[in-house]
Amino acid sequence: MSKLRHAPLIEVIFELHWHSNNPNELNADLNKFEVSLGGMFIALKQEFPKLIDLRPDNQIPLGIFRDKPTHRFMADGPNPLNYPIYQLGPGLLTVNTIDEKYDWDEFSALILRVNESLSNLYQFDPNKELTLVLKYLDFYKLDLTKDMRESYRELFKFQIDLGPAVPENISPLLLNIESGYKTDSGTVNFSLKRGGMLKNGENVEGIVFENGIQLKIKAENYLETLKNWLSESHEVISTFFKEITKGPTYESFK
């Protein structure tokens, strides 16, 4: 799918998760993690020369931050956060970009480069379970004069009947939706939640739409699996996005 000029995209995120099930395994993982921090910084320094420690205090043990990013790698520049970026933490690698910098071919190639660097340094046990995640965050401005049920009907063709929980003449303050289902490429999850964001110095109320897919795999040959999965998962998410916004909403993004 070519990039939509007016898509409501906020951020695209790839995540790799791996978990340690006992203290010995955790200690070994933390040792590998510390080696990987320096090794990845050197390997990708030309593209990401800036390393930021995200911990509030660098004396806090790394084990406290399992499955959370502790270090961010990014390019130099005038902005405090220059996308794309990648982040590393005990049991977690993320690669992130935003709408202004998003191009699928470039982003997927970056995901593979960063994972190849991690794989060379970390050397996962072949039987280690890994979780691959790809997700998109979109933001739709909310018309506060409308009932949220009407907004969902117009944007996503959802027919929502809350019955006596919220009378028809009263607009619900919150109307959050979460769902998921399995495909051959992994479990597709999506959520619609009321939220806000800062745009041009102004707080804007709207709907945050998170659309993603995840797959559990074994670490053996995971780079090859990842390469194939990225293409498959992107196609699944793209198709879902087109279908759920089909009609005037999707046409408004072109």
Highest mean pLDDT range out of 17-26, 198-207, 232-241?
232-241
**Does the pTM exceed 0.85?**
yes
Within a domain: 13: yes
Rounded to an integer, what distance in angstroms lies between the CA atom of residue 250 and that of residue 247? 6
2 within some domain: no
Q: Two tokens at 72?
A: 């961010």
* Counts of helices then strands in the chain (DSSP H, E): 5, 9
| Listed residue (15, 135, 137, 24) closest to 67, CA to CA | 15
Q: Per the domain annotation, does 246 fall within a domain?
A: yes
Higher-scoring residue by pLDDT: 161, 90: 90
Mean pLDDT, the chain, rounded, equals: 91
Q: What ranges in the chain are assigned the alpha helix state H? A: 23-43, 104-122, 148-156, 222-244, 248-251
Q: Does residue 231 lie in a domain region? A: yes
Residue-range definition of the domain harbouring residue 231 = 9-251
What is the spatial distance between Cα 165 and Cα 197, in angstroms, rounded to a whole number?
Answer: 28
73, part of any domain: yes
Domain presence at residue 3: no
The answer to the question of residue 164 being in a domain is: yes
- CB–CB of 30/90 below 8 Å? yes
Residue 44 zone, left/alpha/beta (φ > 0; ψ -120 to 50; rest): alpha
1 located within any domain: no
Q: According to the model, what pLDDT value does residue 45 have?
A: 96
Total structural domains within the chain: 1
pLDDT in tens, 159-211: 888 877 887 778 888 889 999 999 999 999 999 999 998 887 889 999 999 99
Rounded Cα distance between 219 and 202, Å, is 45
